[in-house]
Amino acid sequence: MDIVAPEIETYLSSLVTLPPTLERVAAEGAELGLPIIDCTVGRLLETIVLATKASQVLEIGTANGYSALWLAQSLPPDGRLISFEIDPSRAQLARGHLNEAGLGDRASVMVGNAALLVHKVAGPFDVIFNDGDKRQYPQLLDRLVTLLRPGGALVTDNILWSGEVVPSLVMPPSRSTDETKAIAAYNRQLAADSRLVTSFLPVRDGVAVSIRKPNP
């Protein structure tokens, strides 16, 4: 089901002007059927990176690099984006797009399972964008919060999962039951985590923005 009326999504998208590189990468993602964000979520990511004055960003789930472009272009010249992607061919696409945009010097794509790769980076990160395998959301949360600096933002995509996180709202369900259960559990974790203040936003397929509280 649509979380936001398609007419509203079209209107909001019309308010975002994309540079040619982002337009091409978005079109490529649609043609390849990749699960990438849209420009309204991209603009939200850009806003959060700028608001937090981020210089170190971690992304879970690169796909063809569309969201990585939004993140990397928002960083200062000495900033750094690390992005995880399990599919080598997608990672290669993303690297090419980042280099084409002149952002290859501030972004790197690591290939592998995010559940393993999160233990190979040290942090702290100012912003973390979580948009990888939904089944891994619950197991990743504690490590992601540990990697996040106080005052930093953890942004999570697809937290409404076409409405299927609400029991019996969408019948018959069209999404994987395992993924739906994992996202619902993750949302409960976010809401209950005393280290975080989280807002759940009905943007596109649902976006959670969690700010890590200062250390006591």
Given a contact cutoff of 8 angstroms between Cβ atoms, the answer to whether 69 and 22 are in contact is yes
Model confidence over 150-172: pLDDT tens digits? 999 999 999 999 999 998 887 77
- Does the pLDDT of residue 116 top 90, yes or no? yes
Nearest to 95 by CA among 20, 122, 106: 106
DSSP code string of 150-200: EEEEEEEE-SSGGGTTSTTTSSS--S-HHHHHHHHHHHHHHHH-TTEEEEE
* pLDDT tens digits, 89-114: 999 999 999 999 999 999 999 999 99
* pTM of this structure: 0.96
CA distance 55 to 107: 11
| CATH superfamily of domain region 6-212 | Vaccinia Virus protein VP39 (3.40.50.150)
How is the chain split into domains, by residue range? Answer: 6-212
Q: Is 195 in contact with 145 (CB distance < 8 Å)?
A: yes
Closest by alpha carbon to 87, among 64, 70, 121, 117?
A: 64
